[in-house]
Amino acid sequence: MITFQSIFAALGICLVLTGSMANAQKHPRELTQPTPLSFTPPKPVEFTLNNGIRVYFLEDRELPLVSISAILPGGSIYEKPANAGLASLTGSVMRTGGTQSISGDDLDRELEFLAATVEATMGEEYANVTASCLKKDFHRVVQLYADVIMHPAFPQAKIDQAKNQMKESIRRRWDQPAAAAGILFTEQELGGTPFGYRATAKTLKAITRDDLMAFHEAFFSPRRLSIGISGDLSREEASAALEKAFAGWKATEASLPQLPALQERSDGTIYYAYRDAPQASVVIGHLGIRRNNPDEDRLEVMNDIFGGRGFTARLMKEIRSNRGLTYGIYGGVFAGTDRGFFRIASQLKADRCVEALALVKQMIGDLQNTPVPEEELTVSKESLINGFVFQFESRERIPQMYIQNRLDGYPDDHFDTYISKIKNVTARDVQEVARKYMDTGKMIIVVVGDEKKFDKPLSSLGRVQAIDYKKIAESDKSED
């Protein structure tokens, strides 16, 4: 059981009768301490199908709906550079191309008539296939769902169509300055590694139907697949329907390709790309940490204090709220497959952007040199602890959370121990991880905008290297 406590007070419901006093303005701290919540988050039931598929099931009878989500390793980090875009194409055509027993267009018509969805995507590291339907359609939809996973047809016409769509998004991916800054940052930080291959018209042209079939076969197998299922059905119903839908699917036992370890190459350079834009779009950072790093809880508190989503985070407080230099600025150190990333991103007022960038550097220094005040630490920890219950607000997400947790290699009691781990984080911890994982000397800064509008030359912050993004954009569009 998890108990939620708090420094700020608000005793819900029992206090109503004492509230008849004049309701003069008061501060929330004058409210009485609330009764702690007690809540045991539901856990999915786990079982294994005959062919080895692992299932995470959670009953949810509130509405006549069923949700399914399968996750498995497989994504763009396993592409070859000459085939960049293969993962995305494979995921997309698995669904749009239909299966060996139903065409993609018929699948569209049938599912949409039932107000149901089946979708497949292959991201950077994981593939995900989801379905959602009304309870009454479950048996048909689960059959279509399994068919898409096991027997995609990959017809050439749908591959060509998906390639054409991707080529168009390659043309359009530079349309917004903030997106351009993101692409240029990835190129500098990870270009040429499996985490940084970028699909271009040329790499798409090189991809064949055989490539898609082989890529699908390399990852989609029962032993790799974990299915989360929740909704208006019993464990027995779920199990029987899944057994039937996936019957006869055989395991292929290819091992996952090994990835080369990433090397830090950030060296403090400022990369500037000219663009006639109203603001300066910036991305700052270097590599982060590998998943399952024992410092993750401490970093979670540090991130929340430094660059979290709320206005209480330091970056937002100083650069937006105190100075009015941006609409938003966020960042932190995050865990990933190999190294994860340390990253800060924002769109800054052009005529004060160098001031803001210098301030970001200074604020990282402050976090490294001065312990965070106790009140700031407490608010952040209370926020993470008291808000933890929202992780479990959507029952359909719970099986997926447990699957992802297992695939990412976290211990099974990860969610049970979260609150006590956050409670133990100290001001010293925050300072330590800030020193250990953020390096202002190494971090690179990508700026997209018009330097003529800036308050000072970027060179006042360090060594600047110009990038002609239009050249990159043009070469991305070329098939040769």
Partner 1 sequence: MKHSFAIFSWVAALLLVASVIATGQNLEEKVTVHTLKNGLTVIFVERHGVPTFSTIYGFKVGAVDEVPGITGVAHLFEHMAFKGTPKIGTSDFEKERPIMEQSNTVGKELSLELLKGDRADRAKITKNREDLARLDREQKAYVVKDEIDKIYSAAGGVGLNASTGSDMTQYYISLPSNRFELFCLVESERMKNAVLREFYTERSVVQEERKQTTEAVPSRMLGEAFLAAAFIAHPYNHPVVGWASDINSVTLEEAQAFKKKYYTPNNCVMTIVGDIFPASAIPLVEKYFGDYPAGSEPPVLRTVEPKQLGERRVRYEADAEPQLMIGFHKPTFPSRDDAIFTVISNILTSGRSSILYSDLVKEKQLVASVNASSSMPGSRFPNLFTLMASPRYPHTNEEVEQALLAHLEQLKTVPVSDSALQKVKNALEASEIRVMRSNMGLARTLTRYQLLYGDWKYYLKLKETVNGVTAQDIMTCAKQYFSPENRTTAYLVKKSK
Residues 342-381 that bind partner 1 (CB under 8 A): 347-349, 378-380
Instruction: Give the type of residue at 473.
Output: A
Nearer to partner 1, 187 or 376 (CB): 376
Task: Return the number of the residue (30 or 210) whose C-beta is nearest partner 1.
Answer: 30
Q: Which stretches of 288-361 are assigned E, i.e. beta strand? A: 289-290, 326-336, 341-349
Q: Which of residues 199-228 bind partner 1 (CB under 8 A)?
A: none
Q: According to CB under 8 A, which residues from 305 to 324 bind partner 1?
A: 310-312, 317, 320-324
Q: How far is the CB of 199 from partner 1 (least distance, A)?
A: 15
Query: Is position 281 an interface residue for partner 1 (rule: CB under 8 A)?
Result: yes
Site for partner 1 in 286-305 (CB under 8 A): none
Report 257-276 residues binding partner 1 (CB under 8 A).
Answer: 275-276
Least distance CB 236 / partner 1 (angstroms): 22
Give the strand order in the sheet containing 126-134.
45-48, 54-59, 226-231, 65-73, 126-134, 117-122
Identified binder of partner 1 from the candidate list 192, 257, 278, 457, rule CB under 8 A:
278
Interface with partner 1 in residues 383-402 (CB under 8 A): 383, 385-390, 392-396
Please tell me the distance from the alpha carbon of residue 174 to that of residue 182, in angstroms, as a whole number. 10
Helix (H, G, I), strand (E, B) or coil at 342: strand
In the complex, minimum distance from the CB of residue 278 to partner 1, in angstroms, rounded to a whole number: 4
Distance of CA 230 to the CA centre of its chain: 22
> 3-state DSSP: the chain helix, strand, coil percent, rounded to 5?
45, 20, 35
Q: Cα–Cα distances in Å, from 426 out to 145, 279, 319? A: 47, 38, 26
Give CA–CA dist 275/453, Å, rounded. Answer: 11
Nearer to partner 1 by Cβ, of 339 and 352: the residue is: 352
What's the token pair of residue 286?
Answer: 């270097």
The verdict on 7 binding partner 1 (CB under 8 A) reads yes
Q: What does the alpha-carbon distance between residue 84 and residue 122 come to, in Å, rounded to a whole number?
A: 13
455 touches partner 1 by CB under 8 A: no
Instruction: Identify residues 38-97 at the interface with partner 1 (CB under 8 A).
Output: 39, 62-65, 96
Residue range at the interface with partner 1 (CB under 8 A); choices 1-9, 221-229, 234-242, 286-294: 1-9
Residue identified by tokens 């160098």 is 354
Residue closer to partner 1 (CB basis): 49 or 315:
315
Site stretch for partner 1 (CB under 8 A), options 25-33, 263-271, 335-343, 357-365: 25-33
Q: Which amino acid is at 213?
A: M
**Burial category of 1 from C-beta neighbours within 10 Å (exposed 0-12, middle 13-18, buried 19 and up):** exposed
Alpha-helical (H) ranges within 370-396 are 374-386
* Residues in 153-172 at the binding interface with partner 1, rule: CB under 8 A: 161, 164-165, 167-169, 171-172
Smallest distance from partner 1 to CB 272, Å: 17
Distance in Å, CB of 280 to partner 1, minimum: 10
- 218 or 473, CB closer to partner 1? 473
Map residue 223 onto helix, strand or coil.
coil
- Give the residue, chosen from 45, 114, 206, 218, that forms a contact with partner 1 under the rule CB under 8 A: 114
Task: Say how far apart CA 254 and CA 80 lie, in whole Å.
Answer: 17
